[in-house]
Amino acid sequence: MTIIRLQSKSGTHRKIIDEAVGNPIRHDYLFDTLQAPGSLPDRRTRPLTMFYTQSTLDRADHLRKDDTRMQALRQHHDTRLVPLWQGQSLVNSAREDILPQALLLPADTALPPGLCVFLGLLDTVPLFAVDVSSLDEAARDELAGHALTRTGLSVAGCFTELRVAGPLLPDEDGSLLAYARGMIYWNNNTRHCLRCGTLMRSTNAGHTRQCTRDSCGYIVFPRTDPAVIMLVSHTPEAGEPVCLLGRHPSWPEGVFSTLAGFVEPGESLENAVRREVLEEAAIRTGEVRYVASQPWPFPRSIMLGFEARALSTEICCDPLELADAQWFTRGQLRRFGSWGDEGGGYKMPRKDSIARFLIDRWLSEDADLISPASV
């Protein structure tokens, strides 16, 4: 495999030539166009962007199965590594005023033995997630001190929880770190065969795991746990539309959010929505409509977002699930504070959550897509 650079007025282009096939895998992708930190997208002005879903990365699954090619790609000088240390991601900062970015490591970085997962090609740059959890804190900080931005600038970084940095990261960076985190977590938590209990080994460049017992050989694929999350609304005959939000007993004071729960075997997503709302708040729901989904690698969920129309309004909370639940008008929600605000009062859920997306969508003037006549 050869990577060549092409200079143009607009920046440096690279071309990956697959010599085995004789054709470019992807070509003429703009690469290395330096972006001043001030020109990074500002998430705070884009409330209806779904976090962790805006990736342009080519997962290039056709490359994973060729171990020889994978090893060559891993060593290639253009390759970049996405390190994770005990679940934490490498960023330049977790401060809102500095505009955090994901940081990478050069391919020749000295690393401890550990898991390596091929993530794909981002603007033709091969990316691998690497688990560096065995490093002590001093070695971790040394590693973080020799990082690179995606555009190749040398930057001193720090390992930070994605749940802290995620709401502040540009779309592509947040999506990349969520993907890397999810793959490393799944590999690290799928150590033993589900059939016979023997150790499994990473195969297919980290995208499958196979039992090491010859007589078994069971193969598993990455798992993600489906969870439904729903904005339940009600439009009374007289008065303003309202939506149902609740708060879990463990959440920060004042935070209310949409209800959510895991899908159980043997039920449709729509039935899971109706069951969860009934179990948690004793509200019966009728029409249920899918809206959007979001990977949520904390640790390994896929959040499936819905809108649902209430058929009843009297709330009765399951105390194990909800400390409180209430109906709120749009006017009331617009006066809510933000997650992390100091002091009392009602607050919105996290900025990077699909719950916030569903609420912001409902708040927008054209969001109430389920017309009362269609119920």
Binding flag, residue 218, Zn ion (CB under 5 A): yes
Which backbone phi and psi does 22 adopt, to 5 degrees? Answer: 85, 5
Task: Provide, rounded to whole angstroms, the least separation between the CB of residue 220 and Zn ion.
Answer: 10
Q: How far apart are CA 22 and CA 272, in angstroms?
A: 49
Q: Give the H/E segment covering residue 13.
A: strand 11-18
For the bound state, the minimum distance from the C-beta of residue 122 to Zn ion, rounded and expressed in Å, comes to 35
Closer of 198 and 332 to Zn ion (Cβ):
198
**What binding mask, one character per residue, do residues 170-199 give for Zn ion by CB under 5 A, x or -?**
-----------------------x-xx-x-
Q: How far apart are CA 70 and CA 173, in angstroms?
A: 23
346 sits near Zn ion (criterion: CB under 5 A): no
Selected from 216, 278, 292, 317, the binder of Zn ion by CB under 5 A is 216
Cβ distance to Zn ion smaller for residue 190 or 198: 198
For residues 70 to 89, the per-residue mask of contacts with Zn ion, x marking binding by CB under 5 A and - elsewhere, is --------------------
Q: Which residues pair with 208 in a beta bridge?
A: 203
φ, ψ for residue 67, nearest 5 deg: -60, -40
Our measurement of the distance from residue 172's CA atom to the centroid of its chain's CA atoms, rounded to an integer in Å, reads 11
Find the radius of gyration of the CA atoms of the chain.
23
Of positions 84, 122, 211, 243, contacts Zn ion by CB under 5 A:
211
SS3 content of the chain, % helix, strand, coil (to 5): 25, 30, 45
Structure token digits, residue 310: 């209430």
Question: Of 51-59, 218-226, 288-296, 326-334, which part binds Zn ion (CB under 5 A)?
Answer: 218-226
- Pick the closer one to Zn ion by CB: 214 or 342: 214
Interacting residues of 368 by C-beta distance below 8 A, sequence separation 6+: 233, 235, 241, 362
How many residues are present in the chain?
375
Here's the x/- map for Zn ion, 117-136, by CB under 5 A: it reads as --------------------
Q: Classify residue 265 as exposed, middle or buried by CB count within 10 Å of its CB (0-12, 13-18, 19+).
A: exposed
Stretch that binds Zn ion, among 175-183, 216-224, 235-243, 347-355 (CB under 5 A): 216-224
Nearest to 315 by CA among 227, 372, 229, 232: 232
Quote the least distance from Cβ 210 to Zn ion, whole Å.
9
| Residue number with CB closer to Zn ion (6 or 219) | 219
Q: Report if residue 220 touches Zn ion, rule: CB under 5 A.
A: no
**Closest CB 200 distance from Zn ion, rounded Å:** 7
Nearer to Zn ion, 76 or 213 (CB): 213
In the complex with Zn ion, the residue whose CB is nearer, 11 or 217, is 217
> What sign does the dihedral 359-363-366-370 (CA atoms) show?
positive
From 84-92, 203-211, 267-275, 364-372, give the range in contact with Zn ion by CB under 5 A.
Answer: 203-211
Contact set with Zn ion (CB under 5 A): 193, 195-196, 198, 211, 213, 216, 218
